[in-house]
RNA sequence: GGGCCUGUAGCUCAGGGGUUAGAGCACCCGACUCAUAAUCGGAGCGUCGUAGGUUCAAAUCCUACCAGGCCUACCA
């Protein structure tokens, strides 16, 4: 029985179409999932859409559609986009699914029975136009609603509250005792400061009266209310692996990794563990938090119109190029800048000039000098031993980096192999050896060299597969190793020097990464 | 107000108590010509935000300050 591995993206809110942020989250998750599959783990990758809440019903109304039709439409766009991009998710969950509604109600009932949910009356400043209670920040100097310029009315309402504050100390202690529980570490500190802020942790309002909101899941213990936001959204991670009935649920759940953007740190870092605790379930392994992409030095936002569509990027540059840029350019956890110029520069340098050209020169030389047949390597000399040592070491490093959620560093490690191979070729100068056809020693050295570079390509392809799956299989195919990825196990198969069979027929092909053109400078408007 | 993060080469950023501070891009010189005018070698480039402190030793730890960003407030 192989080790289970469960990884999730957040469910994406269906108020916008997929942009660079959603895409980055999914690219990271897909890459990590692919790595664990290649490591022989029983991997399950969950993604989906969050479809409840008044924003959705309002957006639907604005478009003159039924809420369900609107949600179906946007959810469909997400799903088809992810399919187009070949993300390897195992389930696409929607919060409007009956199975999910059932799970949410099950958990709500459980927490309610445990005494951690209670009905409270509170009063506040309610704006009829907004259909919600306002905070001080929503008010202007004269105490009026900023949007409607009308004074709010004092209104009382009863709602259900999750008694989250009970778990403050428990959670703080857990975070302190488990370094890496929330990572990178800066975000764990951030959560600790939320727990210890002056106000402390407040209880969480989890309902809305039905007269104010209908588009939601009814509370099982009081059908005059629907569940509001976080219980609904977070519990998808349980529904996704068929809580509670699936026989594999427990094992999967004990190996879950959540990937999120830093904007939803609080719900995932605070609400979610406390909900799980209250429901009597174990909490997640790791919360992995990534930063934001700044586009043209600005935050991505709908109003600026600077959202980057993954499908447009794919059409313009090829999706693996875009994907590579996202993975390589952002240090996981930190913010990064996106521009098409930077993408073109990075892709040309790393993928065209280094990797692509390496593949091209290796396979073409083999074709030219040895009719494309992988030759006998013979005994290793110092240079080959250096390569072998690198091949022993790098896959382990990559493995550690992937498990520490540092894909950008793992990718840099893989490229150490590419650089070493380019350098090795220059040291050996096989094109010179090839001319010395009557020198047996040179011929032997040429064989050794050609074997070694192709073997390096094999290793590089295996390690690259989670990042650039299509490129990896293309290279392997050209090495006469089609289908190798289905059998490969990382890191050991990448470490095993000599995995490329002697006598294997190879074939040349078009450049993997033709040089990209710089985008035409756009007008400043 | 409270909290967090960032400030390192012209640009984008790694690194994070210990030999002369790193990479890529850009620029310069050289080598090579198998390859996508790719590759390899070499050179230059920095008071590691500022001022103090701890230490045998600080870009790295501590304090204060300056600058930018973020969270605190449901955009990945």
Picking from A249, A267, A290, the residue at the C-terminal end of a domain is A290
**Residue A180 domain-assigned?**
yes
- Does residue A64 share a domain with residue A202? yes
Task: Examine the domain organization and report whether A53 and A165 are in the same domain.
Answer: yes
CATH code, domain carrying A74: 3.40.50.620
Q: Which nucleotide is nearest to A10 (CA to C1')?
A: B76
Domain membership of residue A70 (yes or no) is yes
Question: Is the overall model pTM greater than 0.90, yes or no?
Answer: yes
CATH code, A454: 1.10.730.10
Ranges of residues in chain A with a pLDDT under 70 are 1, 128-131, 135-149, 197-200, 296-306, 520-525
A13-66 pLDDT, tens per residue? 888 788 888 999 999 999 999 999 999 999 999 999 998 887 888 888 888 889
Residue A302 included in any domain: no
φ and ψ at A452, to 5 degrees?
-65, -40
Is A230 a domain residue? yes
Residues A284 and A423 in one domain: no
Assess whether A301 (CB) lies less than 7 A from strand B. yes
- Among candidate residues A146, A299, A385, A432, the one labeled active-site is A299
What is the percentage of chain A residues whose pLDDT exceeds 70?
92
Are A153 and A264 in a shared domain? Answer: yes
- Supply the pLDDT for residue A137: 62
Q: CA A321, C1' B37: Å apart?
A: 22
Residues A356 and A278 in one domain: no
In a domain, A338, yes or no: no
CA of residue A513 to C1' of nucleotide B13, angstroms:
24
Q: Which nucleotide is nearest to A303 (CA to C1')?
A: B75
Q: Which residue blocks in A334-439 are alpha helix, DSSP H?
A: 340-347, 357-370, 382-403, 407-428, 430-433
> Do the domain assignments include residue A464?
yes
**Length of chain A measured in residues:** 525
A273 with A358, same domain?
no
A311 located within any domain: no
Residue A365 approaches strand B within 7 Å at CB:
yes
CB of A45 within 7 Å of some strand B atom: no
Q: Which residue is nearest to nucleotide B31 (CA to C1')?
A: A426
**pLDDT given at position A1:** 54
Is residue A109 included in any domain, yes or no? yes
Domain containing A458: what range? Answer: 348-495
Task: Collect all residues with Cβ–Cβ distance below 8 Å to A457 and sequence separation of at least 6.
Answer: A358, A359, A362, A363, A421, A475, A479
* Domain endpoint, select from A254, A273, A290: A290
* Closest nt to residue A266, judged CA to C1': B71
Can you spell out the DSSP letters for A300-343?
--TTTT-PPPHHHHHHHH-HHHHHHHHHHHSPTTS-EEE-HHHH
What A511-514 contacts at long range (C-beta under 8 Å, 24+ apart), as own/partner pairs, is A511/A352, A511/A356, A511/A360, A512/A351, A512/A355, A512/A356, A512/A359, A512/A360, A512/A471, A512/A474, A512/A475, A513/A318, A513/A321, A513/A347, A513/A348, A513/A351, A513/A352, A513/A355, A513/A356, A513/A471, A514/A352
A19 flagged as catalytic: yes
One domain, residues A280 and A357 = no
Degrees to nearest 5, angle at CA A409 with A295 and A287: 75
How does A462-494 read in b/e, with b if 16+ C-beta sit within 10 Å?
bbbbbbbbebbbbbbbbbbbeebbeebebbebb
């Amino acid at each position: 029985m192989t080790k289970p591995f469960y990884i999730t993206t957040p469910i994406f809110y269906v108020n916008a179409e997929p942009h660079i942020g959603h895409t980055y989250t999914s690219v990271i998750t897909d890459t990590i999932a692919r790595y664990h599959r290649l490591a022989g783990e029983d991997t399950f990758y969950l993604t989906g859409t969050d479809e409840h809440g008044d924003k959705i019903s309002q957006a639907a109304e604005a478009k003159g559609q039924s809420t369900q039709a609107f949600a179906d439409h946007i959810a469909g766009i997400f799903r088809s986009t992810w399919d187009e991009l070949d993300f390897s998710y195992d389930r696409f969950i929607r919060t409007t699914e009956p199975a999910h509604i059932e799970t949410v109600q099950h958990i709500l009932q459980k927490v309610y029975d445990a005494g951690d949910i209670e009905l409270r009356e509170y009063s506040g400043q309610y704006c009829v136009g907004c259909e919600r209670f306002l905070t001080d920040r929503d008010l202007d100097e004269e105490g009026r609603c900023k949007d409607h310029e009308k004074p709010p009315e004092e209104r009382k309402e009863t709602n259900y509250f999750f008694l989250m504050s009970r778990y403050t100390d428990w959670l703080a202690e857990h975070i302190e005792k488990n370094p890496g529980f929330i990572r990178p570490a800066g975000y764990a500190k951030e959560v600790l400061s939320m727990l210890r802020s002056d106000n402390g942790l407040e209880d969480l309002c989890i309902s809305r009266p039905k007269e104010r909101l209908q588009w939601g899941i009814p509370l099982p213990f009081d059908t005059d209310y629907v569940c509001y936001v976080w219980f609904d959204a977070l519990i998808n991670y349980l529904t996704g692996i068929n809580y509670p009935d699936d026989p594999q649920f427990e094992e999967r759940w004990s190996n879950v990794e959540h990937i999120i953007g830093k904007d939803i740190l609080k719900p995932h870092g605070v609400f979610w563990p406390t909900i799980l605790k209250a429901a009597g379930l174990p909490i997640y392994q790791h919360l992995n938090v990534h930063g934001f992409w700044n586009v043209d030095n600005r935050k991505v936002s709908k109003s600026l119109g600077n959202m980057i569509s993954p499908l447009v990027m794919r059409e313009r540059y090829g999706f693996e190029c875009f994907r590579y840029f996202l993975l390589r350019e952002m240090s996981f956890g930190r913010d990064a800048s996106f521009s098409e110029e930077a993408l073109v520069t990075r892709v040309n340098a790393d993928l065209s000039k280094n990797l692509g050209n390496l593949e091209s020169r290796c396979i073409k030389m083999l074709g030219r000098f040895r009719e494309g047949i992988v030759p006998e390597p013979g005994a290793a000399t110092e240079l080959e031993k250096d390569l072998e040592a690198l091949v022993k070491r790098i896959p382990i490093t990559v493995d550690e980096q992937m498990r520490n959620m540092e894909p950008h560093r793992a990718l840099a490690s893989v490229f150490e192999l590419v650089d070493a191979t380019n350098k090795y070729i220059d040291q050996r100068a096989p094109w010179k050896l090839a001319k010395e056809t009557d020198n047996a020693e040179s011929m032997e050295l040429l064989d050794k060299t050609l074997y070694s570079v192709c073997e390096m390509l094999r290793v590089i392809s295996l390690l690259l597969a989670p990042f650039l799956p299509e490129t990896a299989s293309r290279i392997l195919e050209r090495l006469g190793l089609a289908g190798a990825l289905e059998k490969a196990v990382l890191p050991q198969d990448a470490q095993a020097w000599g995995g490329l069979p002697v006598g294997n027929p190879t074939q040349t092909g078009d450049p993997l990464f033709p040089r990209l053109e710089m985008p035409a400078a756009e007008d400043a408007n």
